[in-house]
């Protein structure tokens, strides 16, 4: 499970008021079509029907849900002294994790109470009360081929591009068209994971992970 270091921000998102964040975190805010400020973040999961399964194991979550701590103690999720809440990272571009079978990259909008932690892998680890999956992405075949050729190309070879036309970005796919559902189901969440931590651990200990499938 991804675990953060120092807590750098504790704020409310999903309202019409722009959260007052440190300057380095401000770039991760976006506004929905109806004027609500949310955090734009990223994570990895495995898709199973209408649910998304954390790479570290545990029960799945739907595309939109509000977290509830399943541990005893009576606190709301997320809490700085617990692991409850939905986990995500500030950037999808993290080194050391190759494409993996059945691994889906998610772009999520975080709202409700949101905690921001320094993360040793770089960037910010978020833990949030509410998570809405805004985009589901998989590496295209061209991206996988380019990654393999990038590792095999001789340093003196020219850097070229494959003669493959990449799919165009769908219209209205950006955060400006995002609209949060009116309500979200309550889901017990105490061991969610952003995905890169579980994936990186498996990568480091499994030579087979070097083979693209």
Place of tokens 């209408």: 50
Rounded to an integer, what distance in angstroms lies between the CA atom of residue 40 and that of residue 111? 9
Q: Between residues 65 and 104, which one has the greater pLDDT?
A: 65
Give 150 or 17, the one with higher predicted confidence: 17
Task: Supply the pLDDT for residue 116.
Answer: 96
Mean pLDDT of the chain: 76
Residue 154, Cα to own-chain centre: how many angstroms? 34
Quote the distance between the C-alpha of residue 113 and its chain's center. 17
Contact 14, 37 (CB under 8 A): yes
How many other β-carbons are positioned within 10 Å of the β-carbon of residue 206?
Answer: 10
Question: φ, ψ for residue 198 (rounded to 5)?
Answer: -65, -40
**Pairwise pLDDT comparison (169 vs 52), residue with the higher score:** 52
Residue 5 has pLDDT above 60, yes or no: yes
Q: Which two tokens stand for residue 20?
A: 């007052």
Task: Name the least confident of 24-38, 67-81, 171-185.
Answer: 171-185
CA distance 195 to 103: 9
pLDDT surpasses 80 at 125: yes
Q: What is the mean pLDDT of residues 149-176?
A: 48
Region 196-206: mean pLDDT is 48
Q: Rounded to whole angstroms, how far apart are CA atoms 28 and 16? A: 16
Q: pLDDT at residue 50 above 50?
A: yes
Segment 107-124 mean pLDDT: 90
Condensed to tens digits (0 to 9), the pLDDT of residues 131-141 reads: 999 999 865 44
Are the beta carbons of 47 and 138 closer than 8 angstroms? no
Q: Could you tell me which residues come within 8 angstroms of residue 108 by beta carbon, excluding any fewer than 6 positions away? A: 41, 42, 43, 86, 88, 131, 132, 133, 134
Q: Taking residues 201-213, what's their average pLDDT?
A: 31
Which tens digit of pLDDT belongs to each residue from 72-107?
667 899 999 888 999 999 988 765 454 555 678 999
What's this model's pTM, rounded to 2 decimal places? Answer: 0.75
């Amino acid at each position: 499970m991804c675990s953060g270091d120092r807590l750098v921000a504790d704020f409310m998102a999903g309202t019409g008021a722009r959260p007052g964040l440190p300057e380095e975190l401000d770039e991760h805010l976006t506004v929905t079509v109806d004027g609500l400020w949310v955090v734009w973040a990223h994570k990895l999961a495995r898709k199973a029907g209408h649910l998304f399964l954390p790479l570290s194991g545990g029960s799945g979550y739907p595309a939109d849900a509000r977290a509830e701590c399943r541990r005893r103690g009576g606190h709301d999720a997320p809490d700085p002294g617990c692991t409850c809440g939905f986990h995500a990272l500030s950037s999808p571009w993290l080194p050391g994790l190759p494409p993996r079978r059945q691994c889906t990259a998610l772009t999520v909008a975080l709202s409700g109470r949101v905690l921001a932690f320094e993360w040793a892998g770089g960037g910010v680890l978020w833990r949030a009360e509410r998570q809405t999956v805004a985009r589901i992405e998989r590496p295209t075949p061209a991206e996988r081929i380019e990654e393999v050729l990038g590792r095999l190309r001789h340093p003196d070879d020219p850097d070229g591009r494959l003669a493959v036309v990449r799919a165009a970005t769908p219209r209205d796919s950006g955060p400006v068209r995002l609209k949060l559902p009116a309500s979200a189901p309550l889901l017990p969440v105490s061991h969610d994971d952003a995905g890169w931590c579980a994936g990186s651990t498996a990568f480091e200990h499994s030579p087979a992970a070097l083979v693209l499938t």
